[in-house]
Amino acid sequence: MSPIFVLQLGLGITFLLTGYLILKDDDKWAHMVPPWFAHRVPSVRSFMIGTALFDLAVGAWLISGYFTGLAAVVAAAHLLAVLIATGRHTFHETYRDIGLLLSAVALAMFGFM
Rg value, the chain, Cα: 14
Separation CA 29–CA 46 (nearest Å): 12
Separation CA 73–CA 92 (nearest Å): 25
Q: What is the mean pLDDT of residues 7-17?
A: 97
Residues 6+ apart with CB under 8 A from 102: none
Number of other residues whose CB lies within 10 A of the CB of residue 108:
20
Directed axis angle between helix 3-24 and helix 68-82, to 10°? Answer: 50
Query: Which tens digit of pLDDT belongs to each residue from 70-87?
Result: 999 999 999 999 888 876
Separation CA 34–CA 88 (nearest Å): 10
32 or 67, greater pLDDT: 67
Question: What is the per-residue pLDDT for 95?
Answer: 81
Query: Which tens digit of pLDDT belongs to each residue from 23-34?
Result: 999 788 888 888
